[in-house]
């Protein structure tokens, strides 16, 4: 177990940076922050665009590691160049979240995000999958922060209780509800 004085907490400096290309995307993007809040992981949310604010975006990414960030999440719709631009300017782990916009409802963003050139990796989650991006970031952090790994284990165990038991001799959730 990690030394208690070094345990990661929401009150610490952010270890995850969440970038989104447009303020219109915040309702989807902020779902990731909700997961980080549940797991007590400090994060930073910024509206930075590969197209509209490219200099500021690159500056943020290039300074990320020095500020203590360990994982970056890039959320964007349409042509979705944000994750690729982020990954091109850092060696930190980058998770891309394609967002559903336009006539193709996110398929263009998905393909743009998942098809990165060799050496510029972006882990890509589902369209509008900001919650899973947060969980993936937490698992990455768990490799060096045992307390995060333990929080994930606890949450996973709690989530499993919501589903029927695979054991035949244990009453299912449906059976419990019928007996009410």
pLDDT over 70 at 169, yes or no: no
Q: What's the average model confidence in pLDDT over 51-55?
A: 95
CB-based contacts of 81, cutoff 8 Å, min separation 6: 50, 51, 112
Q: At what angle do helices 130-142 and 26-38 cross, to 10 degrees?
A: 40
Tokens 């890509």 belong to which residue?
A: 124
What's the CA gap between 165 and 72, in Å, rounded? 36
- In this structure, of 30-34, 128-132, 161-165, the range with the lowest mean pLDDT score is 161-165
pTM above 0.75, yes or no: yes
Q: Do 62 and 90 contact (CB within 8 A), yes or no?
A: yes
pLDDT score for 79: 76
Residues 39, 151: contact at Cβ < 8 Å? yes
Smallest CA-to-CA distance from 95 within 153, 39, 20 is with 20
Class of domain 4-179: alpha beta
Rounded CA-CA distance 29/101 in Å is 14
Classify 24 as helix, strand or coil: helix
pLDDT for 75-102, tens place per residue? Answer: 999 877 999 999 999 999 999 999 999 8
Task: Count other Cβ atoms within 10 Å, centred on residue 162.
Answer: 7
Proportion of the chain above pLDDT 70, given as a percent: 87
Residue 179 has what pLDDT? 62
pLDDT of residue 159: 85
Decide: 98 and 113 in contact? Cβ < 8 Å: yes
């Amino acid at each position: 177990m990690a030394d208690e004085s070094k345990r990661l907490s929401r009150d610490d400096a952010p270890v995850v940076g969440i970038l989104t290309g447009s303020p219109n995307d915040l309702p989807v993007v902020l779902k990731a922050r909700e997961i980080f809040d549940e797991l007590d992981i400090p994060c930073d949310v910024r509206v930075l665009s590969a197209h509209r604010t490219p200099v500021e975006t690159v500056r943020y990414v290039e300074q990320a590691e020095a500020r203590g960030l360990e994982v970056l999440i890039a959320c964007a719709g349409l042509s979705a160049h944000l994750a690729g631009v982020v990954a091109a300017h850092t060696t930190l782990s980058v998770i891309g979240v394609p967002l559903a916009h336009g006539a193709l409802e996110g398929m263009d963003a998905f393909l743009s995000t998942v098809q990165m050139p060799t050496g510029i990796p972006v882990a890509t989650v589902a369209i509008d999958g900001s919650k899973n991006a947060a969980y993936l970031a937490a698992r990455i952090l768990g490799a060096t922060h045992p307390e995060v790994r333990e929080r994930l284990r606890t949450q996973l165990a709690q989530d499993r209780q919501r589903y029927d038991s695979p054991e035949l001799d244990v009453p299912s959730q449906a059976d419990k509800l019928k007996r009410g």
